[in-house]
Each structure stands twice: as structure tokens, then as C-alpha cells.
């Protein structure tokens, strides 16, 4: 079977809306994917200002924004379809939306961007609310990408995505799939970069100029979340309030803060792996997300993983930038096929599940 799907992802790093038109093919249970077209649509001034402060809205205003963001997404998706002249070639839209609240301990997660609105205005089937079923089954609702990693890229034992939050997937020696959020990443790095008039420290040169502050690193490493067992997941608030809040107590140059934050990320990723297993032979970790371009961070990561016999692999630009949008596309297809698309071994739910609300854009 062949499916052409637009996967969408609006991540916590606030880069914009990722759109990836992918051609998926399934033959005898084996899946493959080809990215046909992909773009990151920057948020306009309105959404750039509103989204970081969205949790301060009243319940009514939040749901008004939910519909408005869905309408904005629909217009951008239709523009994308028109630009690449793929009208009548798209079978499905899989929309992750923009996470506003993620509190699995309260049985609650909310991704903004109304799926019904997207379906109504694109006249295409839309799968949205991808995390809700897992949360209802007692799971963390995150990470959900590992099902795609398991089906599409079987040659790797480790997957790391460095976005607003760094999350990892481990296929261990017993063929179990384990995945969880490790620590805040680009969300905090970008906040620090903003202090010196930069949207982000693109290749990590500002971090490279800085010096490691061991006192700050020690305090950050003591945060209780890092020692919690998996399954576990993070909200953006942890990075902004906890990690960034601690960093701001230190009167040191921003470059030192960036340097220390990079070392923290690398350290916690290595710690997360070593708590589960230490490979006896050389293994490879596939690194995607905006952090894959951060040369200094990748160097620190390579140093931290070297004692564990793990080699860092950076894929093509398309996959670095759009892997999560690709994964959402496959998750949407599995929902359409009514097949499990969230793994309980990853999230801690009572069972695997078919997650996502399906909105039909036409009769």
C-alpha cells in the first residue's frame, strides 16, 4: 500500500510549523518513506507573541485561540499544497498541533490547532489529538515518535531528537523499545541566545566561546527529574521555570551559561543510556532536530558517549529537520488503518493503543 501524507509538527523550540509531504509504502509489514516536499513555516508576529504565553489565557480565550490556530494551520497547509501542485494527491493530514499543557499525572494533555477546523478548510481527512488515548490509558502520552523509528529505521539501536526538549529512544538487547524525555534543550538554549540578541546559537559558536561553570552544572544535575525512572516526560514549563530559572541565578556571561547548558544536555543523555545498558560493541545513535546543527553540542555529546561505545550519526538535512513531522505522518496512517500507533512499553500505558481523532474533510 502507498500513502501520501502531510505530517505536521509545531515544536517547543518555537521554530515554526513543520510540514512534510511524505510517500509511505508498506509491503508485507515493511515500511519505507520518501520525503517529497518539506518546509518550516515561521510563526507570524501574532503567534510568535501569543504561543509562549498561551497558558495565561482564560479557558474561553484558549479555545478561541485553538480554533484560530487550526485555521492558520489550514491556510498554511493549503498554500503548501498549492505551491507544490499536489492537489488531489494528498490522502491524509496528520497534525500534532502545538503543545500547551502536558500533565499526564493529571490525566491531561492539550495540543492546540483544531483538527476539525483543519479538515473543514482543507477538505482532507485529518488525524489530530495523537496523545490523548495513551493518557487516558494511564500513559505519559510521550514520546510517540518511537513507533515510527521502530517501523521505518530498523538499522539503529538509538535515536535522539534534540528539539525544545531532548528525547531518546532505545531498542535494547532484548528487543524492547524504551523512550522518554531526557532534559530541556533548545528551548533553554534559545532563551539564553535571546539575551545576546540572537534567535538561536546556530552552530554553537557562542557556546564554544564560553567556559564551563561547574557549580551551575552541579546544581542542574541535582534536579530530581533526571533520576526518575522511565517512563517519564517533560513539559516546556520545566525548561523555562526550573532549568532556566536556576541558570539565571548565576551572574556569569551568557556564553558560559550556553556552554554549561550544552554540557548538561550531553551528560544527561549519556546518563540516561548508561542507566539502561552499556553496549558491549560499537552502536550508533541517530541524531535529529535542530540541535543536530549545534556543532559544539554534538562535540560534547560525542565525548560523553564515547566511553559507552556509541557513535553519533547525523542524517540528511531533510531528516534532521523533519523527522518528527515524518513520524506524525506514519502515526496518522496507522490511525487510519486502525492499527496500534503508540507503544505502551514507551509511555507506561496499560496497553498499546490506536491514538488520534479522525476528522473527515468531505462526505
Q: Position of cell 547525523?
A: 314
How many whole angstroms separate alpha carbon 98 and alpha carbon 27? 33
Q: Position of cell 490525566?
A: 107
Model confidence, pTM: 0.85
Q: Are 141 and 132 in contact (CB under 8 A)?
A: yes
How many whole angstroms separate alpha carbon 40 and alpha carbon 335? 24
Across the chain, mean pLDDT equals 94
- How many Cβ atoms from other residues are within 10 Å of residue 277's Cβ? 15
DSSP string, 147-188: HHHHHH-TT-SEEEEESSEEEEEEE-TTS-EEEEEEEE-HHH
How many whole angstroms separate alpha carbon 120 and alpha carbon 140? 30
Pairing of strands 17-27, 2-10: antiparallel
Q: Which of 124-128, 179-183, 337-341 has the lowest mean pLDDT?
A: 179-183
Q: Position of cell 548538561?
A: 264
pLDDT category at 279 given cuts 50, 70, 90 is confident
pLDDT category at 162 given cuts 50, 70, 90 is very high
Which CATH class for the 146-319 domain? alpha beta
10 Å CB burial of residue 195 (0-12, 13-18, 19+) is: exposed
Per-residue model confidence as pLDDT tens digits over 179-235: 899 999 999 999 999 999 998 998 999 999 999 999 999 999 999 999 999 889 888
The dihedral built from the CA positions of residue 188, 194, 200 and 206, taken in this order, carries a sign that is negative
Which CATH class for the 2-142+322-359 domain? alpha beta
Per-residue model confidence as pLDDT tens digits over 134-157: 999 999 998 899 999 999 998 888
Which pLDDT score is estimated for 171? 83
- How many Cβ atoms from other residues are within 10 Å of residue 112's Cβ? 22
φ and ψ at 19, to 5 degrees? -125, 130
Closest CA to 22 of 201, 119, 148: 148
- How many Cβ atoms from other residues are within 10 Å of residue 262's Cβ? 26
Per-residue model confidence as pLDDT tens digits over 67-115: 999 999 999 999 999 999 999 999 999 999 999 998 999 999 999 999 9
Half-sphere exposure of 167 (CA within 13 A, CB side): 27
Closest CA to 178 of 344, 7, 307, 9: 344
Spacing of C-alpha 131 from chain mean position: 13
Per-residue model confidence as pLDDT tens digits over 18-31: 999 999 999 999 99
Domain borders along the chain are 2-142+322-359, 146-319
Same fold, 2-142+322-359 and 146-319: yes
Amino acid at each position: 500500500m502507498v500513502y501520501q501524507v502531510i505530517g505536521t509538527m509545531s515544536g517547543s523550540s518555537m521554530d515554526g510549523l513543520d510540514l512534510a509531504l511524505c510517500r509511505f509504502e508498506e509491503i508485507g509489514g515493511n515500511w519505507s518513506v520518501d520525503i517529497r516536499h518539506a518546509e518550516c513555516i515561521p510563526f507570524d508576529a501574532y503567534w510568535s507573541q501569543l504561543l509562549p504565553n498561551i497558558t495565561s489565557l482564560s479557558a474561553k480565550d484558549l479555545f478561541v485561540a485553538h480554533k484560530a490556530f487550526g485555521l492558520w494551520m489550514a491556510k498554511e497547509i493549503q498554500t503548501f499544497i498549492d505551491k507544490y501542485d499536489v492537489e488531489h494527491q494528498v490522502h491524509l493530514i496528520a497534525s500534532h498541533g502545538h503543545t500547551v499543557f502536558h500533565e499526564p499525572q493529571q490525566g491531561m494533555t492539550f495540543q492546540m490547532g483544531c483538527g476539525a477546523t483543519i479538515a473543514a478548510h482543507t477538505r482532507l481527512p485529518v488525524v489530530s489529538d495523537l496523545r490523548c488515548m495513551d493518557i487516558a490509558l494511564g500513559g505519559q502520552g510521550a514520546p510517540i515518535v518511537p513507533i515510527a523509528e521502530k517501523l521505518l529505521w530498523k538499522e539503529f539501536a538509538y535515536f535522539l531528537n534534540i528539539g525544545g526538549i531532548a528525547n531518546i529512544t532505545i531498542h535494547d538487547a532484548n528487543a524492547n523499545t524504551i523512550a522518554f524525555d531526557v532534559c530541556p534543550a533548545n528551548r533553554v538554549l534559545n532563551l539564553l541566545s535571546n539575551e545576546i540578541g540572537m534567535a538561536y546559537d546556530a552552530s554553537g559558536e557562542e557556546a564554544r566561546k564560553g567556559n564551563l561553570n561547574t557549580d551551575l552544572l552541579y546544581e542542574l544535575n541535582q534536579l530530581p527529574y533526571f533520576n526518575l525512572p522511565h517512563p517519564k516526560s517533560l513539559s516546556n514549563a520545566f525548561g523555562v521555570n526550573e532549568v532556566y530559572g536556576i541558570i539565571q541565578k548565576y551572574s556569569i556571561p551568557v556564553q558560559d551559561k550556553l556552554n554549561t547548558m550544552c554540557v548538561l544536555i550531553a551528560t544527561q543523555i549519556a546518563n540516561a543510556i548508561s542507566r539502561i545498558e552499556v553496549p558491549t560493541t560499537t552502536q550508533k545513535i541517530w541524531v535529529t532536530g535542530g540541535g543536530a546543527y549545534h556543532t559544539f553540542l554534538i562535540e560534547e555529546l560525542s565525548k560523553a558517549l564515547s566511553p559507552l561505545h556509541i557513535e553519533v550519526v547525523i542524517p540528511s538535512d531533510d531528516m534532521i529537520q523533519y523527522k518528527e513531522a515524518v513520524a506524525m505522518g506514519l502515526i496518522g496512517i496507522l490511525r487510519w488503518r486502525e492499527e496500534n500507533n503508540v507503544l505502551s512499553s514507551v509511555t507506561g500505558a496499560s496497553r498499546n493503543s490506536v491514538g488520534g481523532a479522525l476528522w473527515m474533510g468531505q462526505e
